[in-house]
Structure 1
Amino acid sequence: MTYRTLSRPALALMLATSSVAAFAQTSETIAIAEKPPAAMADAARQIERIRNLDDAGPMLNAVIAYDPNAAAIAVTMTERLLAGRTVLVKDNIETREFPTTAGSLALKDNMTGRDAPMIANLRRNGGVVLGKANLSEWANIRSDNSTSGWSAVGGLTRNPYAIDRNTCGSSSGSGAAIAAGFAWAAIGTETNGSITCPASINGIVGFKPSVGIVSRTHVVPISSTQDTAGPMTKTVYDAALLLTAIAGEDPADPVTLTAKRVADYTQDLETASLKGVRIGVMRDQVGNRDDLTAVFNAALADMERAGAVLVDISFKPNSQMYGDSFTVLMFELREEMGKYLASIPAFKDGKTPRSLADLIEFNTAHADAEMRWFGQELFEQAEATTDREAYETARENAVRIAGEETLDKLLADNNVQFLVAPTRGPAWVSDLVNGDNFNGSVGFGSPSAIAGYPHLTVPMGAIEGLPVGISIMGAKWDDHAVLKAGAAYEKARTAVLPAPTFERWQPAER
């Protein structure tokens, strides 16, 4: 078996070979899905789109590597849960047939030959690993002046709706690839916004599950407190189906052993209703754009017509949560990265990084390729964050404030089951020189990320042809309920969603 790899920017990744039979192991599955039409043809068509739109044409740079034999593999999986559906995997998650680089040249030779447990679950349940998706390098934790969607391995990911616009991050390639039709679904990862923001900006569904639903073993880490993987798809049902396939316990990741899962996250989604459901509207997190407010209000009107009871909420978060969460990320990045790097096989050239300090040294030595546009000040700050007592205090504070004192209290005090807000504003112009241009007034995703609670974003419309999503947030372990609410909104939505243009943005005619 041979694999196509990108050479952007002129990087040849060494890829191993494997047999189709290796992807067709016999095992029990949760359920048997109806065979999708022409699974083999679907995969072949997706590969052709990658060749025409990622390697050529607009060159989205969403896919780092793909398996040209995926169509043949898909046809062997038709009697399992996912029935040969194709999945792109963010390139900080290990799959046995591809290197796992996290977008960095420091890990270009990181060919572990391992499947992360979530990937083993995916294959067991009939999913086909189509390839690896580009990402914001190191999941956007190297610098606070980065441009989302850029990595030294994959280059800058472009937004299918306007190729001069950003894809957000860090699951940038995952979001752009699904919007462009490169696979049935993708797996992203999130520490704080890295699934939901790119999903919203690329006009797809993204679900950040409660931390513990999905294993984090063999995933390049940032934070043991906040990291999780999750599905990025075209529909809420597909997100629930993929989550069902990848979720599960993992003895190597103890938080998964206490998670409260359901066996099938698609159960009752098709009949889900908002009738009588009380939903809290986070009015102070709608932002300062009139056009975004109008799109959000139209989504709320759809919910009301579907029977939801909307409750306006005015709330200002406790700012201590953000500072303490940052301390947690800095401390855990150094510790967790060291553990991960210690676990990978040695590189053939003998230059295997084994610590965050090694990565800092690598970036300094390869500054022309790695640090042309932004530095590594967050890596350096994390390396210097060593006070365990301060970390433990910060972690207790951040999780308590975000969970018990924010989300739990808002849900209980207002007698609502979910909270909603716009996820983000529309995509901004990508600017490698000046970095990202976030509108910080929009959204309420951080408490869910810090507390480890579920957060779903669903497309709700567009501004000048640029997609925007609505966030639906619930209590910890209420993942299934949040997905059902998202599916019910999806059915009630009246907005006409735009189609990708694969061109530079232009003002719409009026």
Structure 2
Amino acid sequence: MTKFAHLAGAAAIALLAGTVHAQTSEDATKGYLAVIKDKNPVLHAVIATNPHALADARALDAERKAGKVRSPLHGAPILLKDNIESADDTATTAGSLALKDNVTNRDAPIVKRLTDAGLVILGKANLSEWANIRSSKSISGWSAIGGTVRNPYVLDRSACGSSSGSGAAVAAGLAPLAIGTETDGSITCPAAINGLVGLKPTVGLVSRTHIVPISHSQDTAGPMTTTVLDAAKVLTVIAGSDPADPATKDADARKTDYAAGLSKDALKGVKLAVARFYTGYSPKTDAVFEAALKDLKAQGAILVDVKDFDEGPIGKAEGVVLYTELKADMAAYLASTDPKKVKSRTLADLIAFNKATPKELQWFGQESFEKAEKTKGLTDPDYLKALADSKRLAGPEGIDKILKNTGAVAIVAPTTGPAWTIDPLNGDNYGGSATTLPAVAGYPHLTVPMGDVTGLPVGLSFIGPAWSEKLLLNLGYAYEQATHHRKPPTFLKTIAP
């Protein structure tokens, strides 16, 4: 546990799960920086550390000593995925050499909320380059700047992506907390595979300003932690409206203390829809899922099976949306950067940069970038139809319909299977997951550790309607407290015979 002792009789700060024992924020920050220095050469989970972290921690300790405590997370260190801007002299690279000098000297609103609440920005976590949108044959967790993130449970296994560094770092004790981002699976998959709690919020609850984008319809940032309580505390800090991000116009009305009222009894009498259509791709994961369902029943949950749902049309429409929005949203982001530091100003420029930079294309190509470049813009009728179809099929005719037909308050499913072997020649050996419905609908998705397959963690997903974060956190908390399935990583080199 990461423990902050209290100065001058200040009210007790909550414990944060991790590996470093410390009496002050400065001690904790020093400790995590030392762990990063020790373990990161193997894990490649962190791209850069914040040169001002220790000074920031000392200032926060002085505030605490003077009786000022900004939030329950005052003094707690946190890592940011390296597509999130921070005004601390670190570059925001999205893992690409095209952005290696992208020092913007501006805080993303989510970062300003974190620092205003007294958190210490430790640095930037590695990620799947461009948040895994460059190629369908990519290696999750690889970036030209950061190398390949290793899974701390078994080092030759994937940490999933795109928030791979955030997941591996928290799991391995390089930080007690991290922020990831998700378009479809990029928080929940690495959280599950690294034995963590991960929350993808409702799109529009958290600002996306000054975050390198893929899709304004699906992108969101969210917490990756070792406990549901910590995830709830981080969400409480980062939620809220942003005038520069119209999707957040209703966020202040939804903002609350997500950690308040978490109950071990939250599953009693609650009806849950069991997404059987998200099983079958990993028999060993299915066995762990069946055990999780028994645990839910033991806590008083009422389970209703849902055997069939066709995601095919959703996936096809999602591709049109993501590629079209990538081209437009990336151009808008690049236009906001300093042209002296970032020469690429459009997606076409990035494609040309990659072709001229051998390291970028050494393992896989950029066919997804090239598909996106051929799209016709945000007024294209094909895009508008795909956007409307995907939202309808995943939301009103997907999650909402399942909940209405079953009378359930949330859907449960295995998040994804265990981590696959890193394969730079063939790319990811990705099985199945429960990520697409909530990602496309823009609805919240929580994953909580539910056990392991031969020492590799797997997660249990709780999926709900829009703005149901408090409900999902409460359900996840009750399940977590009843089972305590999370185990520390083993750092095995391999489990191959």
Q: TM-score, normalised by structure 1?
A: 0.89
Q: Which amino acid aligns with 2:36?
A: I
CA separation in 2, counterparts of 1:248 and 1:372? 41
What is the aligned partner in structure 2 of residue 66 from structure 1? Answer: 49
SS in structure 2 opposite 1:54? helix
What is the aligned partner in structure 2 of residue 85 from structure 1? Answer: 76
CA separation in 2, counterparts of 1:116 and 1:347? 21
5+ residue gaps, structure 1: 1-31
Name the % identity. 52
User: Which of 222, 243, 246 is the equivalent residue of 1:254?
Assistant: 246
What is the aligned partner in structure 2 of residue 303 from structure 1? Answer: 296
Is contact 2:239–2:255 with CA below 8 Å preserved after alignment? Answer: no
| Superposed CA offset, 1:361-383 (max 9, x none) | 100111x1100111111111101
Is contact 2:272–2:302 with CA below 8 Å preserved after alignment? Answer: yes
CA separation in 2, counterparts of 1:141 and 1:276? 41
| Superposed CA offset, 1:150-207 (max 9, x none) | 0000000001001100000000000000001111200000000000000000111100
The Cα shift of 1:33 comes to 6.9
Matches within 5 A, 1:208-247: 208-247=200-239
What is the aligned partner in structure 1 of residue 324 from structure 2? Answer: 331
What is the aligned partner in structure 2 of residue 22 from structure 1? Answer: none
Alignment of 1:474 with 2:464, yes or no, is yes
Is contact 1:188–1:232 with CA below 8 Å preserved after alignment? Answer: yes
What is the aligned partner in structure 1 of residue 425 from structure 2? Answer: 433
What is the aligned partner in structure 2 of residue 505 from structure 1? Answer: 494
CA separation in 1, counterparts of 2:164 and 2:457? 15
Alignment of 1:401 with 2:393, yes or no, is yes
| Residues 211 and 183 of structure 1, relative CA distance in 2, 3 Å threshold | same
What is the aligned partner in structure 1 of residue 119 from structure 2? Answer: 127
Q: Which amino acid aligns with 1:66?
A: T
The Cα shift of 1:251 comes to 0.5
The Cα shift of 1:493 comes to 1.1
What is the aligned partner in structure 2 of residue 34 from structure 1? Answer: 13
CA separation in 1, counterparts of 2:281 and 2:238? 38
SS in structure 1 opposite 2:43? coil
CA separation in 2, counterparts of 1:256 and 1:379? 28
CA separation in 1, counterparts of 2:410 and 2:286? 19
Alignment of 1:282 with 2:275, yes or no, is yes
CA separation in 2, counterparts of 1:311 and 1:75? 52
CA separation in 1, counterparts of 2:303 and 2:311? 24
Alignment of 1:410 with 2:393, yes or no, is no
CA separation in 1, counterparts of 2:290 and 2:332? 46
Is contact 1:109–1:347 with CA below 8 Å preserved after alignment? Answer: no
CA RMSD of aligned residues (A): 1.6
SS in structure 1 opposite 2:158? coil
The Cα shift of 1:109 comes to 0.8
| Superposed CA offset, 1:238-273 (max 9, x none) | 001011111111000001012352321111114552
What is the aligned partner in structure 2 of residue 488 from structure 1? Answer: 478
CA separation in 2, counterparts of 1:221 and 1:61? 23
Alignment of 1:43 with 2:26, yes or no, is no
5+ residue gaps, structure 2: 1-10, 16-22
CA separation in 2, counterparts of 1:33 and 1:125? 16
Is contact 1:35–1:83 with CA below 8 Å preserved after alignment? Answer: no
The Cα shift of 1:504 comes to 1.0
Is contact 2:32–2:175 with CA below 8 Å preserved after alignment? Answer: yes
User: Which of 439, 452, 456 is the equivalent residue of 2:446?
Assistant: 456
Is contact 2:264–2:482 with CA below 8 Å preserved after alignment? Answer: no
CA separation in 2, counterparts of 1:167 and 1:205? 14
Is contact 1:95–1:114 with CA below 8 Å preserved after alignment? Answer: yes
CA separation in 1, counterparts of 2:311 and 2:78? 38
Is contact 1:47–1:68 with CA below 8 Å preserved after alignment? Answer: no
CA separation in 2, counterparts of 1:236 and 1:216? 23
SS in structure 2 opposite 1:188? strand
User: Which of 339, 342, 362 is the equivalent residue of 2:353?
Assistant: 362
CA separation in 2, counterparts of 1:507 and 1:323? 36
Is contact 2:202–2:442 with CA below 8 Å preserved after alignment? Answer: yes
User: Which of 375, 384, 399 is the equivalent residue of 1:385?
Assistant: 375
CA separation in 2, counterparts of 1:383 and 1:139? 17
| Residues 288 and 365 of structure 1, relative CA distance in 2, 3 Å threshold | closer
CA separation in 1, counterparts of 2:310 and 2:204? 25
What is the aligned partner in structure 1 of residue 103 from structure 2? Answer: 111
Alignment of 1:149 with 2:138, yes or no, is no
| Superposed CA offset, 1:459-486 (max 9, x none) | 0100111000000000101111111111
User: Which of 176, 181, 186 is the equivalent residue of 2:173?
Assistant: 181
Q: Which amino acid aligns with 2:30?
A: A
Is contact 1:207–1:454 with CA below 8 Å preserved after alignment? Answer: yes
CA separation in 1, counterparts of 2:245 and 2:426? 38
Q: TM-score, normalised by structure 2?
A: 0.91
The Cα shift of 1:343 comes to 0.5
